[in-house]
Structure formats: C-alpha cells, structure tokens
Amino acid sequence: MYKVFVNDKPLFLTNKISKETDFQLFLLESVDIVQLIVKIFQNKIQKAYLYHPDEKEILKTLKTKIPVCKAGGGYVYNKKGEVLFIFRNGKWDLPKGGIEKGEAIETTAMREVEEETGVNKLTVTNKLQKTYHIFKRNGKYKLKITHWFEMQSDFDGIPQGQLEEGIEKVAWLKPDEIPEALKNSYENIKLLFEEEKLPK
C-alpha cells in the first residue's frame, strides 16, 4: 500500500478492500483522479482509498495525471545520536529539495541538507522509504516523490538555516525531544519516524 498525502490528508493506494467505514473508497477504473484530489484539497474528503488489484498500476496512473517532481532528503544523525530538523512555515520538517538535471538522487539529498542547514561532512548510511505528497503551486497540482536517506554527520559547527528557503531555525533534536516536534510536523515526516522507530 502507498500513502500519498494530499494537503496532509491521506490517500491510500491499495489492492485490498477492507471493512473500515471512516473513509471513501474509489475504484481506479471509474474515478477521475484529479477531481478526487480537488475534493480532498477542498476538505470535502478527509481520507480516501483508491483501489486496484495492482497497487503499482495506481501509482503509475497517478503519475500520468499529475506532473511529478522528484526530491531528495536527509534523516541526519550527529555523533550524539541527535536528529537534524528544520523549522519552516510554522512546522518542523527534515531538509529536502528538488533534484537538479543530471544529478543522482543521493547527491540531491546530501546537497539539499548542506544548502538548507549548513551541515556538511555527511555520509549516507541507509536508503529509507520514499514519501509521496500532492501540493498545489500556481494553480497546478504536483506529485512530489521524496527519496529519503539516513545520514551520519561529523559536523561540529552551528547549523544555519537557508533564509531564502524560509527556514527559520535548524536544530539537532535529542531522541526524547522528537515526539514533541512531530506533533507539529507533516504526515509524511511522521511516517519516516514510524519506519525508523525513533533513534535508540
């Protein structure tokens, strides 16, 4: 199952029909995907499932209906086991950004971490899951697919937020501070921490 967040509300791409009742179920063959996304954006739908026997087929169809932008991001630990967060638009987030032409996605992730936070001396230690979210810019919907990488950093300076990207602050959060920050974060960021089961 894929989870795509539309304006922070979940759209599940699934090949199973479950008995839950707190969501609306749509069939890939008969739904107008763009209309469905518009309704979620307008808060007319809070949670939806999009069904097809082959989940990959749903994702493929979604990519044909909505332009895709690829991004890379970092889940960065320092030597103390703290995790690097940025604060932007009133929410805690992880550093990430769009891929540049001809760039490997891993390079994108490392470059974006460095640009957005000033943190360097990065080593990729693990490839994490991808996250999917749909946003609206200049009246057009886009599907952002972010490839996440776990990284280790030996950086020992003071991180600096990239002002032109609207980053108000950058912080290394201790494992016990992370749950509090996640209360004011995005759903796809929370997913990463579920996956990681929070640093030990």
pLDDT at 170: 98
User: In the CATH scheme, what is the homologous superfamily, with its name and number, of domain 68-196?
Assistant: Nucleoside Triphosphate Pyrophosphohydrolase (3.90.79.10)
What integer pLDDT is reported at residue 200 of this predicted model? 41
> Burial of 67 by CB count in 10 Å (0-12 exposed, 13-18 middle, 19+ buried)?
exposed
Alpha-carbon distance of 161 to 16, in angstroms, equals: 43
What local confidence, expressed as pLDDT, does residue 22 receive? 75
CA 175 – CA 85 distance, rounded (Å)? 12
Digit-by-digit pLDDT tens for the chain (200 residues) are 899 999 899 999 999 887 766 788 999 999 999 999 999 999 999 999 999 999 999 999 999 999 999 999 999 999 999 999 999 999 999 999 999 999 999 999 999 999 999 999 999 999 999 999 999 989 999 999 999 999 999 999 999 999 999 999 999 999 999 999 999 999 999 999 986 554 44
Q: What's the Cα-to-Cα distance from 38 to each of 107, 118, 137, 141, 188, rounded to whole Å? A: 34, 37, 13, 9, 20
| Residue 121, C-beta contacts closer than 8 angstroms, at least 6 positions apart | 153, 154, 155
Instruction: List the domain boundaries for the chain.
Output: 2-65, 68-196
Q: How many CA atoms lie within 13 A of 76 on its CB side?
A: 32
Beta-carbon contacts of residue 34 (< 8 Å; ≥ 6 apart)? 65, 66, 141
Provide the terminal-to-terminal Cα distance of the chain, rounded to the nearest Å: 27
Question: Residue 199 has what pLDDT?
Answer: 47
Q: In the prediction, which pLDDT does 19 show?
A: 74
Q: pTM here?
A: 0.92
Tokens 């991808």 correspond to 130
